[in-house]
A and B are shown apart, each in its own frame.
Chain A
């Protein structure tokens, strides 16, 4: 309670110069869809004096709107959204009064089809200083192995995102590593949300409201990571009636159920998916594809009153992939991981103040195993308990965001296996952060959001200060945006350098006072080249310090002994988006260059150099994605072609051994050590990655149901793209071969 009071008073003190709110009032409330009670984002809520516009705002991701500094008087409050009938109500404002007005928009059946196209605020070129909003409609435009879409299928088309392909579940964003991505689901951290089959994640499109991806340059609200943020917001369940869908395809089966627990007030949304590819691969493609995943999601959302909401969200996922099949008395080599996340989020518009406040509590856990199922060789586990609060004050020309977060992280590593020195370690790391982030609307389409984060890390002797800046100018069909910031990350993920496409990550703490740090800047320009052809250009530069990388050694073993490295990542994205009649498509090209510089003390002895510069294993220099959808008659056809330049890997010269001759050693009894002879780190380059996917889809409308059927080809020209290669044992696993797919979804109306 004391914290809340301090928070509110702090906000007010900060906000006073921005607004003369004592001579005016505030109108705020929540915008919902009257048909199902869903909160609506991006709805224009205007204050009109007659037909003269006084002021207005757009509703936020929770559907809340707050219009500050409304002069004393009586007005018309009008809310409009394409595809919905306008909502109007008369509102009287007294000095200092805060009026709460709920807005419920009813769909206009005659215009509903337009909503899909016109109302989308997302799109391939709609990038603002690294930030892009992804809607379920964007995801549905892509060919997929089944009729339901998945967020990761879209993410992998982005020019700055390097994936391990259709298996493996790792994303590298603009030179960062997978463990440097902060992935949030309704505010909860999800450590490894991407499934072992790369088309799928814990985020099926039919539970999504929206996803914001920040490929760097993210704001002060986010901390503890230094590459990117994927902030996924799920929708709420239908508050009017029970509905659902069931879908089946050779890859996956899906069940979604939602409905009101208390009509108009409390809803539930659940989703369950189980992969089937392990069962269907042999009859479908004539070979085993031993991959299995499962995820289940549940959300209970309560509209407590007109000014507050409470949501409880839970997620559970499991993944299992066989890297090396059982044989010759040797058990199968598997990688397995399991995510758990549960959290609660409370959002409120306090009665007396023009602010929006939210509080969150969550617990997340990831356990990863590598090796035989009963006796894994390597186990890594990370979990956290997180408490955070955020508040936003809405002023006339400025909003002020501020917040506080406290996280306790636990880490466990059990690393063993052949040629591996056993490592057992347990660590605990509390993190505490506070931020203030005012956003100024300076007129003429110019917005500036400045911010500063004060963050305490266990491995730093003093709290660190992280300045952040985002700047956007919009006008005349163009947008110029820029972002800048300083970021730290105490938790680091280590991979085994022996794996050409590493699938096991050991989470550990950065060494004391060597917490990884990044300074990064982004500059973007977006414009319409021709009617229906939008272009986005964006460049980025990241300076990286104190990166924690596995110690370079000829010992053939995964180690948590880490070395510090600095580095730099830079590149540019070019995006072209075409929207012409029945054709929609885009081309994304990403140019990237990532180099690490390590000054491991042995380098002087080994290579006669002080510092070794090398390409890390995720340095994909060129990436191209082409997506097209075309509607002909009742059908929608989609095609996607992806190309990625080869990734660096550790190419060995061969293997020998070492006997430590530190005295009269008997070579007849001393086995010595096995050793790998490398030329230089990451001196080899894997083959290029490319793949073509196509699909055709059609919907059938019935009285109570909509049936959607889909057929397609994954990897249409059967490219053998590498997924996993152990350079020691030469065990290789490829990504998916040519797979014909078909799917059916039956959804209740």
Chain B
């Protein structure tokens, strides 16, 4: 499902993106502020100009606090938008701090490092590609690397970087939408895992478990995410050859 901001109104392009999900969504973005709306009944595909007031009054629509982080991140990347950065900071800095504390970092150091991580988000914004990973995933990788620095743990060599040739190219909106949707579904799936299993997954990412203690089966649906990345890699290889 796609949307574009036009003036202060919104153009909704609604089409079901996943036949297995019974929850069609309409995402509405207004400049750097964004809200997502859900409604529970399936409706025929529609394309309509909707003003902000109509959105607010929409009868079966219930606003959630789900924000379009990718749009904010692109505003930072492409326009150095400080207001968008502030919104990202308010959401992600407390999460990075909690992540570092869970990984054994003391609170005040975790707070300083959360600032570092968000400053890196600004600094390295050009590396963010919304078609490949959600903002949360990208921020996680920066926070993880910071955690490794704090612990003065072993170096972690990175795989060869690929040239996705992203610069100057308009990313495919459907790809961005799908990547964000998948990340949202994965977050939901993690929330509803049985407590013990969720704790085990979390501990692995807090760096609590050695590789031999990590359970092979997370109980999370990773197939679709893997397939989408694989498809993108196949397309890239075709383009390169």
**Chain B binds chain A:** no
